[in-house]
Structure 1
């Protein structure tokens, strides 16, 4: 600890920003490499309790409807879910419980709630400014995910709409929309899940920018690898990551078959503008709605890294390293949960790669078994 400009600066070797799946995986592997939590590396998390973004998901998202939860290294998820009907347990309680047990079992010492406001260069080190003080580090593993950056595309007339505009992250229960006409925008898995729930209690209309592609059969590991490879190729070229669904399509599940039978998968093309009472298509057709629910995804939460000037003119960040976690412009910075590692299984592998490559770069010279 040292003093600078009357402010305490906590010195460490590596700062991990974020304690979701990617951050915890990174912290676990740093400890496996012999680094001591709280001294050689610190983990900062802005949420008041363990669970990452999972703790904020809607209550009806259960383990059976969520994308698969992959085990963190060293502790199977199944060991922390006591309910025999585990598939029906809400993900927003089961996953935080798992993360909490994981942090305590491996002594990962997460500091929370600590919000990182900016990271910048100072005297050859990385200065991490937070609402709880300043940290100085030689390297950073950034695992801040996307939940804080909901994306809503701009459309003419949006500010004039007299109804409600919400994003996926605002959703809680379908019953809140009873008696209202809900326009659901988006072609991803979350859009389908919310369309399913809301259409059972009220009128819905579904619009997407591109016609959705429904793929028969289960989502196989091979399809997953192909999708990850395509996203990885983009970030290695400095392009913004693409969504996995845009690569893999939507798997046809029993829920989707039931939606087809109910007639709620009647997808409409994207409208051209928003009116005070609804939307208007380019051909002049209009529709009055009470709610526009934007299921249009998220962007990577990386604003705090802006002073480091990592982005390319394309808007993306050129990534390097074995699993594309290392920022090519600055090998001291690793992004886990970005691009090809933006999934639970991808985050695990990325955490291991980032811990090994960053400690190698910093000359700490140990290897994971």
Structure 2
């Protein structure tokens, strides 16, 4: 098969940038005479500016690990003023990363549909028009597809409801009664963020499991990799929540979770013992699903709800040649949804494209 003339990377966040880095290396090698040619490529980003979904996150959100274990390939994240980087610092890093490697990111390009373009290749409908590509790498992440569980009474609640992606900080909730639902890191961090100024009720499905205070991003990445590769019991046996300093502080002030929610009622929540707690706001910190809407017109074989990928390289679609998935979670590479983990699968993706289509 001949080398691809063009590669479209759908997305402009951390996963797309990591793929772009390795594609840019092919371009550099061609310019320096170490290979005959390199494919043209473009990153199609729906946002008007760089930073990916990190630009939409609340300012106090912090990474789990220091810069050494929170970096994309080729460029180390600068040391933070605190123990770990905040969301605005990650945004600055991602924008500097794209600029340093001169990655061809086209902003404000919302991709609405990807379809087969004849005998081979793809047609991509985007904001500025339709373009063709021989290979498509899906790197849209999950931020665009928030998940809210089917909780009894959810439609009866008379107050405000929002998801993690709509949370911009504690200022607008000062003095309010807020129910934060979710036992993961976002739930713990948002509950801790609100605790000094709001009346917080934190709800989880089970007793929250905090990782030991000394466990950070490096240990999590190693455990996740071993878990997916079948070499250990992995992260699930360490715990669910990283005890960052703000979370530890809120816990020290008495922040506790309840896991006996029965249903929502018009004025708040009802517990399994029949008692009720009045609530003004419910914040659903209940996770996300892969945002693959542009590729739904393709006939994707699925396994466990996710697109099925080849066993020899986990980012390549098993049913659509030339289609790849990077950064959505363990089903497309161990720890691939993290800054430190996506580089490995980005490298493997570009290597596979180069070997199969040259």
Checking the alignment, whether the CA contact within 8 Å between 1:54 and 1:91 is kept in structure 2 is no
Alpha-carbon distance in structure 1 between the residues aligned to 2:38 and 2:268: 53
1:52-201 equivalent positions in 2, closer than 5 A: 52-61=52-61, 65-68=62-65, 70-78=70-78, 86-87=81-82, 91-124=86-119, 125-201=121-197
The DSSP-based 3-state class of the residue aligned with 2:202 is strand
Q: In the TM superposition, what are the counterparts of 1:278-297 in structure 2 within 5 Å?
A: 278-297=268-287
Whole-angstrom CA distance in 1 between matches of 2:235 and 2:124: 31
Pair 21,187 (structure 1): closer, same or farther in 2 beyond 3 Å = same
Could you tell me which residue of structure 1 aligns to residue 264 of structure 2? 274
The answer to whether 1:15 aligns with 2:8 is yes
Structure 1 residues 197 and 212: alpha-carbon distance in aligned structure 2, compared to 1, 3 A threshold: same
Conserved 8 A contact 2:7-2:39: no
Q: Following TM superposition, where does structure 1 have runs of at least 4 consecutive aligned residues deviating by more than 6 angstroms?
A: 35-39, 243-247
Q: Provide the rounded CA distance (Å) in 1 between the counterparts of 2:64 and 2:213.
A: 16
* Whole-angstrom CA distance in 2 between matches of 1:253 and 1:347: 22
My pick for the range that moved more, 246-255 or 286-295, is: 246-255
Q: Summarize deviations over 1:208-230 as a string: whole Å, max 9, x none.
A: 11222123242264543332444
What corresponds to 1:240 in structure 2?
none
Could you tell me which runs of 5 or more consecutive residues in structure 2 were left unpaired when the two chains were aligned: 32-36, 331-335
CA drift at 1:313: 6.3
Check 1:97–1:360 CA distance in 2 against 1; reply closer, same or farther (3 A cut): same
- Normalised by the size of structure 1, how large is the TM-score? 0.82
Equivalent residue in structure 2 for 1:306, among 296, 300, 312:
296
| Greater displacement, 304-313 / 185-194 | 304-313
User: What is the aligned residue count?
Assistant: 335
- Cα distance, 1:151 vs. partner? 1.1
| Pairing 1:258–2:254 present | no
Q: Quote how far apart the aligned CAs of 1:99 are.
A: 2.4
Q: CA deviation at 1:311?
A: 4.5
* Equivalent residue runs for 1:212-361 within 5 Å: 212-219=208-215, 221-230=218-227, 248-265=239-256, 267-312=257-302, 314-320=304-310, 324-340=314-330, 341-361=336-356
Q: Is the 8 A contact 1:22 1:350 kept in 2?
A: no
Q: Deviations over 1:142-189 (max 9, x none)?
A: 111111111111223222211110111111121211121111100111
Match for residue 50 of structure 2? Answer: 50
TM-score, normalised by the number of residues in structure 2: 0.84
Query: What is the rounded CA distance, in whole Å, between the counterparts of 2:304 and 2:340 in structure 1?
Result: 27
Q: What is the CA distance between 1:252 and its match in structure 2?
A: 3.8
Q: Compute the displacement of 1:278 (Å).
A: 1.1
Distance 1:313 1:92, change over 3 A: closer
The equivalent residue for 1:239 is: none
Give CA deviations for 1:183-202 in whole Å, capped at 9, x if unaligned.
11001111111111211112
Q: For residue 201 of structure 2, what is the aligned residue in structure 1? A: 205
Q: CA RMSD in A?
A: 2.8
Helix, strand or coil for the counterpart of 2:71?
coil
Matches of 1:277 and 1:298, distance apart in 2? 27
Measured after TM superposition, the shift of residue 141 of structure 1 is 1.0
Judge which range, 111-120 or 311-320, deviates more: 311-320
